[in-house]
């Protein structure tokens, strides 16, 4: 194994310039050592769209200005209703008739387990 690969594989390699991202565009990431590398984290929910996607940034920015943070605790709001309808449209309303929004992965798992027990 090369010395670089050996050093990067250890926790002590954390923060090394060749492992510290400074900028990203599309599928490529610029590291502090000046090298652009291909992003290979396609399993992450957002990475498939690429970094710095202008359409996504504009959509997120608009929602942050128009709605900031609206809770779903005992009330609804238009973005949640629209998202639920879009999800049902993709998943098929013949299979699903409701969407349950949660605030985190942990609460989503909790809700899934409680629903399954019912």
Query: What is the structure's pLDDT at 6?
Result: 60
Q: What is the pTM of this model?
A: 0.52
Instruction: Give the chain as a DSSP string.
Output: --HHHHHHHSGGGTT-GGG-EEEEEBTEEEETTS-EEE---TTSTTGGG-BT-HHHHHHHHHHHHHTS----SS---HHHHHHHHHHHHHH-TTT-------SSHHHHHHHHHHHHH-
- Each of the 118 residues of the chain gets a pLDDT tens digit; together they read 566 566 556 666 778 888 899 998 888 889 999 999 988 776 666 666 778 888 888 988 998 898 877 888 888 888 899 999 999 999 988 888 889 888 888 999 999 999 999 9
């Amino acid at each position: 194994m090369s010395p670089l690969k050996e050093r990067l594989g250890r926790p002590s390699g954390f923060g090394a310039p060749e492992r510290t991202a400074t900028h990203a565009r599309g599928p490529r990431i610029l590291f502090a050592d000046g090298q652009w590398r291909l992003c290979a984290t396609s399993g992450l929910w957002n990475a498939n769209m690429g970094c710095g996607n202008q359409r996504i940034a504009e959509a997120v920015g608009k929602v942050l200005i128009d709605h900031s943070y609206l809770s779903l605790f005992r009330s609804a709001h238009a973005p949640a209703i629209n998202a639920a309808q879009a999800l049902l449209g993709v998943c098929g309303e013949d299979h699903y008739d409701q969407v349950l929004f949660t605030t985190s992965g942990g609460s989503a798992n909790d809700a899934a387990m409680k629903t399954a027990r019912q």
